[in-house]
Amino acid sequence: MTRDDEDEDEVEVERATRRRATTLRDDDAPTAARIRSRQSVTPGAIIMVAVSASASTTSEPSLRARGGARPRASARASVATRAMSREEWFKDDDRGVILYDGVCNLCNGAVNFALEYDAEPSRGSVRFAALQSETGRAMLVNAGRDADDISSIVFVEGAAPSESYVKSEAILRIARRMRAPFPQLSALGSLVPRAIGDFVYDAVADNRYSLLGKRDACRFGDDENDERFLR
């Protein structure tokens, strides 16, 4: 074999070696990619995925718990002052219920007035529930009003929606259950057209916080007459 032939053989061997090396690198590329992919899934990434999955499964109940206050209602069911159902409102007690704004000082003054001048001081002819209470909100819905509507006093005389009265009509019906001379004043007030009576009521109600301010906490009961307050 001549020197030239040996040189050509060495060149061919070198070329074959390069081709094989290239082939090996190509064959190992998917493996390398898989290795890089696995290495990119760090423990931090795993934790983030787990937190996201947990949040997606718990966000809806958490929103319901914050927004509707239902857990508080179920908790109250275990105590004597639990929220009453519609069937219980007048089942064993036919006294009407005054729904009042529990944070309004003017409204709370009206509650104190009704407690003091009730025509039946021993038993009381009316009961009370804050508009913000569970029972108050349920009675609002039963009356065809929004559960968050605290724009007006409401007087509920029965479980039927037609037995709920608002604004000036509620005031006149409550006055009939007070001591004299308020039933007589109620009779006179009933002669005033409803539109005028409601206009005067709205003028006061819309400015009630400006007139006497608000309480720091909602009033749900009373130390001396707590049995007359529904939760």
In tens, the pLDDT along 23-35 reads 444 444 444 444 3
Domain count, the chain: 2
CB of 163 closer than 8 Å to CB of 153: no
Q: What is the pLDDT of residues 165-196, one digit of tens each?
A: 999 999 999 999 999 999 999 999 999 999 99
Look at residue 214 and tell me if it is in a domain: yes
Look at residue 27 and tell me if it is in a domain: yes
What is residue 130's three-state secondary structure? strand
Last residue within a domain, chosen from 70, 96, 128 = 70
- Segment 200-204 mean pLDDT: 97
From the list 134, 174, 173, 168, the residue with the least C-alpha distance to 152 is 168
Domain, as residue range, for 57: 3-70
For the four alpha carbons of 74, 75, 78 and 81, in that order, the dihedral sign comes to: negative
Last residue within a domain, chosen from 20, 39, 70 = 70
Last residue within a domain, chosen from 44, 70, 96 = 70
- Per-residue pLDDT band for 42 (boundaries 50, 70, 90) equals very low
Torsion-angle region of 166 (φ positive above 0: left; ψ -120 to 50: alpha; else: beta):
beta
For the four alpha carbons of 87, 92, 94 and 95, in that order, the dihedral sign comes to: negative
- Segment 119-137 mean pLDDT: 96
Residues 65 and 152 in one domain: no
pLDDT recorded at residue 62: 32
For the four alpha carbons of 79, 81, 82 and 84, in that order, the dihedral sign comes to: positive
pLDDT recorded at residue 72: 39
- Per-residue pLDDT band for 151 (boundaries 50, 70, 90) equals very high
Residues 42 and 136 in one domain: no
Query: How far apart are alpha carbons 150 and 13 in whole angstroms?
Result: 94
Look at residue 76 and tell me if it is in a domain: no
Residues 118 and 175 in one domain: yes
Look at residue 170 and tell me if it is in a domain: yes
Query: How far apart are alpha carbons 11 and 43 in whole angstroms?
Result: 50
Look at residue 75 and tell me if it is in a domain: no
pLDDT recorded at residue 86: 78
Look at residue 178 and tell me if it is in a domain: yes
Residue 60, pLDDT > 80, answer no
Residues 46 and 92 in one domain: no
pLDDT recorded at residue 82: 53
pLDDT recorded at residue 19: 58
Residue percentage of the chain with pLDDT more than 90: 60
| Residues 6+ away with beta carbon under 8 Å from 100 | 107, 108, 110, 111, 128, 129, 130, 131, 153
Q: Which helix (H) or strand (E) holds 97?
A: strand 96-100
Residues 101 and 141 in one domain: yes
Residues 96 and 183 in one domain: yes
Q: What is the pLDDT of residues 71-111, one digit of tens each?
A: 333 333 333 345 677 778 999 999 999 999 999 999 999 99
Query: How far apart are alpha carbons 189 and 171 in whole angstroms?
Result: 10
